[in-house]
Amino acid sequence: MRDATLVIMAAGIGSRFGGGIKQLEPVGPGGEIIMDYSIHDALKAGFQKIIFIIRKDLEKDFKEIIGHRIEKIAKVEYAFQELDDLPKGYARPADRKKPWGTGQAVLSIKGLVDGPFLVINADDYYGKEGFKKIHDYMVHEMKEDAKVYDLCMGGFMLANTLSDNGGVTRGVCQVDQDGYLKNVVETYEIRRCGDGLTAVDEEGAPVSVAMDCHVSMNMWGLPGSFLEVLEKGFPEFLAGIKEGDVKSEYLLPRIIDKLVKEKKASVKVLETSDKWFGVTYKEDKQAVVDSLRALIAKGEYPERLYE
C-alpha cells in the first residue's frame, strides 16, 4: 500500500505571530488551533507524513508554535513559498507583495513527495470524513498515469461552508452523474439572503448558486506526478501576466479546471456531509470554538488533543 502525505498551505499566515493571525488563533480547550484538528484527523485516516508550506522568515516561530509539537507524533517536513522563487528568466516585480498563489505553494514541495498527497488550507476545519475518503482513494484507487491525471477532491455542500458574518469565496463545482468534476468556478461574496443565497462572479456580476451544490474547499488529492504539471504551467502563467498586474495568482482550482476541460485530468468528487468552519472573519472565532466543543461533547475528539 502506498504512503500518503498531508500538505498544509500555511505560507500566508502573516509576518508576525499572535495579534490576530487567524490561522494561529486558539480554538480548542487546550489551546489547539484549527491545524491541530486537521492533523489529528489526517493521522487517524492513515496519512504518514506532514509537510508544512510556510515562508522562510517564519520558520523559527512556526516550529515553536506548532511544528515541534507535531514532530513528536508524525514525520514532518517543511517547504517554503517565496515571492522570489521563480523560474529562470523571471523576476518579481518591485511592487509585487501578494503571494503567487496555491499552485506555486504546492510546487514548493517538489522533491519532498514520491507518492500521492492531500493539499489543504491551514485555516479550514474539514471534518473527519473527507480525510478518510481521500486517503483511501489515493492509496487504493488512484492511478499514476501522466497521460490523464487521476485526481480527487473533498466535495462539500455549499450550505455547510457558509459564514454567518459575511460573504465567502468558494469554488463552485459541476459534477457529472458518475461523480466526476465537470468544472469549478471561483465564485465570490456568497452569503445567505432570506431562504436563498446571493453571489457574484470574478467581474462582480450577480450569479445564481444553490445550497446543495458541491464546492471545493482546496482539499485536493493529487498524484506525485501532478507536480510536473505545476512546474510546466508556472512559467506559462507568468508569461501571460499583463504589465502592471501585481495581483494575479497561479491557483489550483483554475489549473485543475483547465486540465479537466482539456481532458487531461479526471477528478473524483468524494462527497462529505461534514460541516466546514473557519475563521474567515474575526467574529467567526466564537462559532468555531462552540462547534469544536460540541464535537468534543459528542466524543468526536478528546478534551485535549495532546495529553
The domain spans of the chain are: 5-152+216-247+275-297
Please give the pLDDT value at position 283.
83
Please give the pLDDT value at position 57.
86
Please give the pLDDT value at position 12.
77
Provide the sign of the torsion angle of the four alpha carbons 99, 250, 41, 289, taken in this order.
positive
Distance CA 13, CA 24 (A): 8
Local confidence pLDDT in tens for the 307 residues of the chain? 678 999 999 987 654 444 446 667 789 999 999 999 999 999 999 999 999 999 998 898 889 889 999 999 999 999 999 999 999 999 998 899 888 999 999 999 999 998 999 999 998 999 999 999 999 999 999 987 667 899 999 999 999 999 888 899 999 999 999 999 999 999 999 999 988 999 999 899 999 999 999 999 999 999 999 999 999 999 999 999 998 888 899 999 999 999 999 999 999 999 999 999 988 777 888 999 999 999 999 999 999 998 7
Distance CA 33, CA 54 (A): 16
Please give the pLDDT value at position 13.
67
Q: Which CATH number fits domain 5-152+216-247+275-297: 3.40.50.300, 3.75.10.10, 3.40.30.10, 3.90.550.10?
A: 3.90.550.10
Please give the pLDDT value at position 2.
76
| pLDDT tens, position by position, 217-245 | 999 999 999 999 999 999 999 999 998 88
Please give the pLDDT value at position 205.
96
Distance CA 248, CA 201 (A): 16
pTM of the model: 0.93
